[in-house]
Amino acid sequence: MTVKTRILLGVTGGIAAYKSPDLVRRLMERGAEVQVVMTAAAQKFITPMSFQAVSGRPTRSDLWDSAAEAAMGHIELARWAQLVLIAPASADFIARLAGGRADDLLATLCIATEAPIVIAPAMNRVMWANKATQANVDTLMARGVRVLGPASGNQACGEIGAGRMWEPLQLAESVLEPPANAGLLTGLNVLITAGPTRERLDPVRYLTNRSSGKMGFAVAAAAREAGAHVTVVSGPVHLPTPTGVTRIDVESAREMYAAVHRHIGEADVFIAAAAVADFQPVTVAKQKIKKQGVSVKLELEPAPDIVKSVADMAKRPFVVGFAAETDNVEDNARSKLKRKKLDMIAANQVGDGIAFDCEDNALTVLWPGGKSEVTRGPKIDVARTLIGLIADRLPPPDGSPRRGTRKRRPPPPADSRARLRSRRVRR
């Protein structure tokens, strides 16, 4: 007997809700069992009876339904679901989900479930572009929530732009197919650095840079999605930790160096995505440096080179560096790749409004004898592509040369952890 995928479909308030009954049908055509949960706002656009007719199950909407809640119905549904799909996901619901609210049945289910959550945003183009909406989406993505869409085109309000919900067929195909990177790093330990470092000048001042940590955290989320055990050593950032990722917070380059070397012995892959300070003060003033109307000279020395220190290890993991450049991006990255003896480097151009503290990125990924361009897109999508490139370049478990390009490998059996450990590169 075929086991059906149990999908909890959340429908929120928006005109795109009229597409959701067709989405139920598309999901069921592909072997899914669908339970619909509606918000109060959704019922202003379409009736619960419409969903009951196509799903064959009573539609749920009330957190305070005495009959259902006598048996803790919201917990029962949260455990029943193997996947939670919110389509359409309104700006209001995205904000409530990002804030961890539990003020209706659907929101409560989302924080009570351990199932993966997927959202399909649908709203006016200006609402989608609003900084608050984008920040909420970024928060959800960092927590491992998968975001499908929105598409661009004509909208119900008469405007044209991004904000249309994906079509039901596209959504059904997307959620019932495994992520492209699923299983690529199963059983491997990945250690990642992310964010900036702060180098103290005195008790109140420090040297730092504009890194937000978003790219490093996206790489962490993508590696976890690919099945790896992920640890992030992060400089000071204001980002939630991706679901399933272990986080270690540090401040200075010295602290990051020490944290990396405490954990590098277990790593199969090391990805140095942090924007570590190149220089640090020779001495740190014990008292605040006073403004006295004269110039102040700072004596700086090189900060620890974390990625080179890992690449120089006798028994080392697969080492991936990052190169943030303002000019001659590829040439400078190739020089760093060779000089520091890295296995791979991901280079990107930075500057005002480019890469740092932005929601999207583009990479030029280089390795000895090879190159791949990752086109500009949301950082989580760029990170997924990078993880795929890394997985493709990892030496096979038996140490033999890899032939061709691997698009996807199935997850290894449960007893393969020891064999996967042999992927370590020996220098």
Q: How many CB atoms lie within 10 A of CB 162?
A: 16
231 CB-near residues (< 8 Å, 6+ apart): 189, 190, 191, 192, 245, 246, 247, 248, 263, 267
Yes or no: say if 29 and 4 are a contact pair by the CB < 8 Å rule.
no
pLDDT at 62: 82
> Which one of the listed residues 54, 68, 102, 157 is annotated catalytic?
157
Tens-place pLDDT, residues 319-365: 999 998 888 889 999 999 999 999 999 998 875 555 566 778 899 99
Among 2-11, 68-77, 184-193, top mean pLDDT goes to 184-193
**CA proximity to 40, closest of 115, 106, 128:** 106
pLDDT greater than 90 at residue 72: no
pLDDT at 336: 94
Q: Stretch 94-115: mean pLDDT, rounded? A: 92
23 CB-near residues (< 8 Å, 6+ apart): 9, 87, 168, 171, 172
Same fold, 5-175 and 189-426: yes
For the question of residue 157 being annotated catalytic, the response is yes
Q: For the domain bounded by 189-426, which CATH number is listed?
A: 3.40.50.10300
Q: For the domain bounded by 5-175, which CATH number is listed?
A: 3.40.50.1950
Q: Which sequence spans correspond to the domains of the chain?
A: 5-175, 189-426
Q: Stretch 251-274: mean pLDDT, rounded? A: 96
Of the chain, the end-to-end C-alpha distance in Å amounts to: 51
Q: What is the DSSP string of 302-355?
A: EPP-HHHHHHT-SEE-EEEEEEEESSSHHHHHHHHHHHTT-SEEEEEE-BTTBS
pLDDT at 417: 36
Can you read off the two tokens belonging to residue 142?
A: 């960092």
Question: For every residue of 71-94, which 3-state class applies, written as one string?
Answer: CCHHHHHHHHCCEEEEEEECHHHH
Distance CA 264, CA 285 (A): 32
Can you read off the two tokens belonging to residue 36?
A: 């619909």
